[in-house]
């Protein structure tokens, strides 16, 4: 019975849909316009979609073989698309989609591989084969977060509804001025940042535009500005927030031994890595902190003699060995150029010198080979444009109604 009914409806359908010719009285009410669903730059309607993420060690054949694409077709595809997108660049953990014609026994029609948060490669799996590299449309929104430090920047950003990875962006902006692992309760932040969205989902790192950070009672404004060499951050007067370290911890000294992993040690009579740079200078010469920071050690060991260690920020630490006398204590805040001790030859030393050691991200490195970012202020020719940008952003960040989260 059911079948007959279906057939009847089908027949009526055919009759009703017969070409009525122009000016027919059979005009039906106008149907809403058909808008095909498009995704990845192709009509996605009526396709059957398999999706997954690339497994570790898997190549295109692991993914497309089960989708009915023959080994020969995969080889041809890989070869033909190589100059636009080399399939050997497909990486594990990235999402992909395979599109089949519905009810089709044919091999899959498209393979879409997501290269990163904003780009994908769409492969046409039928002859003559091909690949198109496309980008999703993105929206960049300006958002704001402000609050007071109660525990840590990460936690407090989340508490006020901001992305916690904004903490990393802020730490990069203030890398030379604020040690974010040593924030105080009551420090405050007010930050405008850009965030890129794809399909309403945030992607990538938020980017700081302007930040007013209050640390230990000092206001530390940071404004983003590009004076030709890429974005950098400046205070309201146009001084770079980056600070160069002093080139050497003692003035009028000479380097007597460089950082060398295979140095022959003059006292131990054997090869021993030298993780520092030795600056020879007369005993009693002042030793200077190469940058602002906090003294984490002021101590004595048999090898180091009297020494001082300074933590500058979450990236950099320095250490000064063989002092005749130390001039700072643990926990003390020091400024760049401040005298922290005096040259001597305590510990394992053949003569008066400072063995200067430099840590970057927990590793001892040769500071003479480090490429420090420039710390140039705003150039005179850019000052008007910079001041205009500062006024605009300052007005926006001070407008409490703006983008309050
Ligand atoms: Zn040394």
- CATH code, 231: 3.10.450.350
Instruction: Clarify whether residues 127 and 146 are in a common domain.
Output: no
Predicted local distance difference test score (pLDDT) of residue 281: 92
Mean pLDDT of 111-134: 93
Query: What is the pLDDT, as a whole number, of residue 405?
Result: 37
Segment (H or E) for 298:
strand 293-301
Residue 227 DSSP class: S
Beta strands in 129-285 (DSSP E): 130-135, 138-148, 188-198, 201-215, 218-226, 231-234, 254-257, 264-265, 270-271, 276-280
Tell me the pLDDT tens digit for each residue of 362-386.
999 998 888 776 678 999 999 999 9
The verdict on 90 and 43 lying in the same domain is yes
**88, 114, 135 - which closes a domain:** 135
What percentage of the chain exceeds 70 in pLDDT?
A: 91
**Ligand 1 centroid – CA 356 distance (Å):** 7
Q: Does residue 10 lie within any of the structural domains?
A: no
pLDDT at 245 over 90: no
Ligand 1 center to 189 CA (angstroms): 41
| Residue 282, in any domain of the structure | yes
- CA-derived radius of gyration, the chain: 33
Residue 400 confidence class, pLDDT cut points 50, 70, 90: low
Summarised one tens digit per residue, pLDDT across range 54-77 is 999 999 999 999 999 999 999 999
Q: Are residues 268 and 166 located together in one domain of the fold?
A: no
pLDDT digits (tens, 9 = 90+) for 164-193: 899 989 988 887 777 777 788 889 999 999
Residues 143 and 238 in one domain: yes
pLDDT at 403 over 50: no
* Tens of pLDDT, residues 254-273: 888 899 888 887 777 788 88
Comparing 203-212, 237-246, 301-310, the range with the smallest average pLDDT is: 237-246
Residue 19 lies in a domain: no
Looking at the structure, do residues 199 and 271 belong to the same domain, yes or no? Answer: no
Q: How far is the CA of 383 from the centre of ligand 1 (A)?
A: 44
Ligand 1 center from residue 279 Cα (angstroms): 8
* Residue count (the chain): 405
What is the 281 CA–ligand 1 centroid distance (Å)? 13
Q: Is the pLDDT of residue 17 over 50?
A: no
> Looking at 135, 150, 173, which one is the last position of a domain?
135
Q: What is the pLDDT, as a whole number, of residue 257?
A: 87
Residue 235 lies in a domain: yes
Q: 355 CA to middle of ligand 1, Å?
A: 4
Cα 202 to middle of ligand 1, angstroms: 48
Higher-confidence position of 264 and 293: 293
Residues 229 and 287 both lie in one domain: no
- Do residue 117 and residue 210 come from a single domain? no
Percent of the chain with pLDDT over 90: 58
In this structure, is residue 157 part of a structural domain?
A: yes
Q: Is 126 found in the same domain as 150? A: no
Which of 72, 102, 135 is the last residue in one of the domains? 135
Domain shared by 318 and 361, yes or no = yes
- Does residue 74 share a domain with residue 128? yes
Same domain as 150, residue 178: yes
Same domain, 221 and 295: no
Strand partners, 305: 301
Indicate the number of domains in the chain.
3
31 part of a folded domain: no
How many whole angstroms from 304 Cα to the centroid of ligand 1? 9
**pLDDT computed for residue 192 by the predictor:** 95
Cα of 287 from ligand 1 centre, angstroms: 15
Ligand 1 midpoint to CA 259 (Å): 8
Q: What is the domain extent for residue 175? A: 138-244+373-405
Report how far ligand 1's centroid is from the alpha carbon of 261 (Å): 12
Q: How far apart are CA 66 and CA 101, in angstroms?
A: 15
In a domain, 200, yes or no: yes
What confidence category does residue 287 fall into, taking pLDDT thresholds of 50, 70 and 90?
very high
Q: What spacing in Å lies between the alpha carbon of 296 and ligand 1's midpoint? A: 20
pTM higher than 0.85: no
Report in angstroms the alpha-carbon separations of 111 from 69, 94, 120, 378. 11, 13, 10, 49
Section 277-298 average pLDDT:
94
Give residue 221's pLDDT.
94
Q: How far is the CA of 348 from the centre of ligand 1 (A)?
A: 9
Tens-place pLDDT, residues 315-343: 899 999 999 999 999 999 998 889 999 99
**Could you tell me the distance, in angstroms and rounded to a whole number, from the CA of residue 276 to the centre of ligand 1?**
5
Query: How many CB atoms sit inside 10 A of residue 82's CB?
Result: 12
- pLDDT at position 397, please? 82
In a domain, 378, yes or no: yes
């Amino acid at each position: 019975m059911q079948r007959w009914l279906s057939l009847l409806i089908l027949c009526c359908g055919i009759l009703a849909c017969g070409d009525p010719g122009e000016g027919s009285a059979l005009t039906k009410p106008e149907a809403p316009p058909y808008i095909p669903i498009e995704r990845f730059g192709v009509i996605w309607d009526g396709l059957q979609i398999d999706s997954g993420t690339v497994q570790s060690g898997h190549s295109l054949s692991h993914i497309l073989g089960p989708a009915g694409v023959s080994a020969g077709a995969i080889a041809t595809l890989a070869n033909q698309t190589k100059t636009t997108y080399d399939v050997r660049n497909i990486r594990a953990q990235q999402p992909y989609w395979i599109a089949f014609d519905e009810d089709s026994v044919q091999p899959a029609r498209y393979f879409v591989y997501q290269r990163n948060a904003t780009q994908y490669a769409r492969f046409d799996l039928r002859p003559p084969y091909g690949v198109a590299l496309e980008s999703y449309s993105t929206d960049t929104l300006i958002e704001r977060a402000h609050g007071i430090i109660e525990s840590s920047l990460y936690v407090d950003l989340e508490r006020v509804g901001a992305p916690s990875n904004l903490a990393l962006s802020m730490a990069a902006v203030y890398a030379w001025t604020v040690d974010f692992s040593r924030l105080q309760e009551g420090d405050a932040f007010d930050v405008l940042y850009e965030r890129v969205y794809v399909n309403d989902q945030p992607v990538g790192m938020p980017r700081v535009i302007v930040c007013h950070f209050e640390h230990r009672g000092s206001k530390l404004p940071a404004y983003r500005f590009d004076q030709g060499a890429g974005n950098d951050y400046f205070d309201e007067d146009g001084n770079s927030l980056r600070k160069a370290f002093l080139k050497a911890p003692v003035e009028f000294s000479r380097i007597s031994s460089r950082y060398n992993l295979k140095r022959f040690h003059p006292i131990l009579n054997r090869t021993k890595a030298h993780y520092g740079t030795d600056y020879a200078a007369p005993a009693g010469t002042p030793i200077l902190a190469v940058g602002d920071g906090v003294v984490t050690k002021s101590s004595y060991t048999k090898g180091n003699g009297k020494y001082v260690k300074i933590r500058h920020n979450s990236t950099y630490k320095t250490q000064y060995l063989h002092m005749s006398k130390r001039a700072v204590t643990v926990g003390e805040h020091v400024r760049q150029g401040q005298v922290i001790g005096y040259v001597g030859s305590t510990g394992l030393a053949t003569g008066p010198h400072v063995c200067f050691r430099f840590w970057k991200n927990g590793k001892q490195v040769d500071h003479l080979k480090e490429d420090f970012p420039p710390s140039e202020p705003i150039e005179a020719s850019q000052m008007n444009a910079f001041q205009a940008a500062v006024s605009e952003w300052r007005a926006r960040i001070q407008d409490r109604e703006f983008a309050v989260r």
